[in-house]
Homo-oligomer: A and B are copies of this chain.
């Protein structure tokens, strides 16, 4: 295995978030389920946007947030994701590159606009997400530069990609390229609804290709269709090479064969907004992993990154994570 140009290469849905405040009545009026991520089409996105309050635009996307975290730790990151050649696409690209992440995926020059996620923040601080995938649906195998993938220690993808039809083929191409170069591959389950949509494919992938699995308690229970975290943990132990499972304020548990590491959550003065906690946990874990740290230390770094991001509004770190280790 040659030395790696990148620590982590991430593949994800390239999305600009549009945040606004809303009350419970607005959610019911528009048939939205609080706390969930729902996929919406362009017409629905337009209707919802017209109805919602003034917004704030900020680059997001689960994997984009993770890569911003890797860079914030001082790691070398690259990102593959599809935007349109429009203003929000330029915003997404600028913001990611400004964190230090390499991003060279060609923008779509036709077809749907850059993806956006309309996020309704209710007074209880919960977020209801409505994602219009737009240009993300154009991500395909042609966007996977196998040399670039082969030059990254770990290729990390988000389960959300399964919602974009051609993206799955892109992921499989990338996983094969990574393994051909002697590298590792990793996936996050993203969301329990996403797990329900693609359970069998995810389980197959975890058994046969994935080296590091990320998921939270709800997701891993949904994956194995069990009632308790302990059952899910033992199911994951049988099928995953390494699994890093997060449990909010209970910290995380990392398993690798018969090894088990329970790592407490990092202290947080005040939880302001939990969005991005899982994304940033993955960034800390992968930064540690690609810097030769033992698994328990990887989990600790994940916890530090998650604690930083939930202490403010927004899903990308505000403080340099390199200063918090």
Contacts and interface: CB of A to CB of B under 8 A. Distances in A.
A147 to B, nearest CB: 26
A35 interface: no
Contact of A68 (B49, B54, B59, B94): B54
Contacts of A316: 54
A57 interface: yes
A262 interface: no
A248 interface: no
A225 interface: no
A87 interface: yes
Most B CB within 10 A of own CB, among A52, A95, A96: A95
Contacts of A56: 56-58
A166 interface: no
A257 interface: no
Contact of A95 (B55, B68, B94, B99): B55
A96 B50 CA distance: 11
Interface residues of A, number: 23
B57 A94 contact: no
Interface string A37-60: 000000000000110111111110
Contacts of A59: 54
Contact of A50 (B49, B86, B94, B113): B94
A83 to B, nearest CB: 12
Contact of A52 (B53, B86, B96, B98): B98
A322 to B, nearest CB: 15
A316 B20 CA distance: 13
Nearest to A86: B87
Interface string A95-131: 1101100000000000001000000000000000000
A98 B57 contact: no
A99 B54 CA distance: 7
A136 interface: no
A54 B88 contact: no
Interface in A49-94: 49-50, 52-59, 68, 86-88, 91, 94
Contacts of A52: 98
A54 B94 contact: yes
17 contacts: A20-B98, A53-B98, A53-B99, A54-B68, A54-B94, A54-B98, A54-B316, A55-B91, A55-B94, A55-B95, A55-B98, A56-B57, A56-B58, A57-B57, A86-B86, A86-B87, A87-B87
